[in-house]
Amino acid sequence: MSASVAHDAACIFCKIIKGEIPSFKLIETERVYSFLDIQPTSKGHALVIPKWHGAKLHDIPDEYLLDVLPVTKKIAKALDLDTTETGYNVLQNNGRIAHQEVDHVHFHLIPKPDDKTGLVVGWPAKQADMDQLSQFHKELLSKLQ
């Protein structure tokens, strides 16, 4: 990790990137580091992390996110997750309330070989009020300009 990259000396993921803590490294690029999770939800559970320390996604410069999905995709293919019989989740949490445990942005690639293995997700969807959704849409679009 070069001196121009933001890091936190106390962060476990920054220590892994710098080689201070061993890992089962998979792919490393100039801006991304990936490795097998040591508390896997399923076999092949991997983490892909930017080499820029930031607690939440919006803290990471865009250039440090460019390799995240291509590296994740390459690992998914290496795990043979590109077949129709298998599934997988790509997960990124922001904040404790959203189940983030390490305050360094990281993306999980979690193979889902069957109903009982891998990530279990509850999705409490409800029908939107279309008038309220339309108003919210207008408000959000004004902020995205």
Q: Which residues are catalytic?
A: 106
Tokens standing for residue 126: 């409800």
84 alpha-carbon distance from chain centroid: 23
Spatial strand order of the sheet with 25-28 comes to 25-28, 32-36, 46-50, 107-112, 87-91
Beta pairing partners, 107: 48
Query: From the CA atom positions of the chain, what is the Rg in Å?
Result: 18
User: Which residue matches tokens 């995709």?
Assistant: 73
**Nearest alpha carbon to residue 12 among 127, 103, 93, 88:** 103
Q: Residue 77 carries which DSSP code?
A: H
